[in-house]
Amino acid sequence: ELDSEDHGPAIKKIIDSEIGHDPSKLQDFFLAGADAIERRIYLWDGLYAQLREIV
């Protein structure tokens, strides 16, 4: 909730200035975001698996 006050408007400005209304750039933006989320999940799943082996 606190982040949305600063980060939300900031990312909107970045998207508008870098992507504008170009559908292909917007699609690339969302695909990159989805990929980043999947990689973060993979990272945390791997860390969890390593910790489970230790404990």
pTM of the model: 0.69
Residue owning tokens 């699609």: 27
Q: Using one digit for the tens of pLDDT, what is the confidence trace for 3-42?
A: 667 888 888 898 899 998 899 999 999 999 999 999 999 9
Residue 1 pLDDT exceeds 60: no
For the chain, how far is it from start to end, CA to CA, in angstroms?
A: 34
- The pLDDT confidence band at residue 2, using thresholds 50, 70 and 90, is low
What residues does each domain of the chain span? Answer: 22-55
Residue 52 pLDDT exceeds 90: yes
Q: What is the pLDDT of residue 40?
A: 97
